[in-house]
Structure 1
């Protein structure tokens, strides 16, 4: 894709801008689910030399697998990258969960589907609301 895209963390301390991006892959593995804080992690690839960072010093890094590093905002915990090589190559995997605005990319694949969260099954039948769920006050176990 040829449109510069931007992403940022929840608190705004860290952001990236990527000149070009690939389409997006949805990952259901347990590590990506936990890193993203949801049912899946969503990631895309950019060329490392075409990505600029603001607040890069506020990133913290975690070696989630031998030789693979993930980066998060040290202030709010937002995942900013996927699992990149500890010894970087010319590409970087960025978190699509952090993207802002209209993005010229779409999800093209789902991986590690055998690891999907069981609670996620059947969510398409759940009612949708344009604002907050009106039943929060009545939710009880």
Structure 2
């Protein structure tokens, strides 16, 4: 699988090579605010499978370093220092990520009551162990 994506203004571009390790949804406050939506939809890839061009800005959260485009503010990546995994914000892909089905949900205690849980996905009240 080869996927590509980038920010809204086009200054940051990336390519993903291979399948994600896992795909999830998070309803925590940080992810909600970072996505500007009711939840964050993301995929985890080995860091070595991702290449990007362009300058990134960052800020620290409980999940690690959130990376975004400094020009348009589009959220793109997250990774913890020393980790060999990178979280990709799937809404930043060029093509609809329809085939990337969430296998788990995090922070379900904060899920909006009008939003149904993902059938077949593991449900975690807070973070995964």
TM-score normalised per structure 2: 0.78
CA contact (8 A) 1:44 1:96 kept: yes
Structure 2 CA distance, aligned partners of 1:89 and 1:106? 24
Q: How many residues align?
A: 114
User: Alpha-carbon deviations, 1:93-123, whole Å to 9, x = none?
Assistant: 1111211215442122211011124xxx436
Q: For residue 89 of structure 1, report the CA deviation from its aligned partner.
A: 2.1
Which residue of 2 is the match for residue 89 of structure 1?
83
Q: Secondary structure at the match of 1:114?
A: helix
Which residue of 2 is the match for residue 130 of structure 1?
none
- Give the counterpart of 2:103 among 99, 108, 119: 108
CA contact (8 A) 1:36 1:97 kept: no
Q: For residue 81 of structure 1, report the CA deviation from its aligned partner.
A: 1.1
Q: For residue 23 of structure 1, report the CA deviation from its aligned partner.
A: 3.9
- Write the mapping of 1:75-86 to structure 2, written as runs, cut at 5 A: 75-82=71-78, 84-85=79-80
Which residue of 1 is the match for residue 12 of structure 2?
14
Which residue of 1 is the match for residue 57 of structure 2?
60
Q: Quick check: 1:98 aligned with 2:95?
A: no
TM-score normalised per structure 1: 0.72
Q: Secondary structure at the match of 1:70?
A: strand
Q: For residue 88 of structure 1, report the CA deviation from its aligned partner.
A: 2.6
Structure that is richer in helix per residue:
1
Structure 2 CA distance, aligned partners of 1:97 and 1:69? 18
Which residue of 1 is the match for residue 2 of structure 2?
4
Instruction: Show structure 1 runs of 5+ residues with no match.
Output: 125-141
Structure that is richer in strand per residue:
2
Which residue of 2 is the match for residue 71 of structure 1?
67
Q: Secondary structure at the match of 2:104?
A: strand
Instruction: Show structure 2 runs of 5+ residues with no match.
Output: 117-129
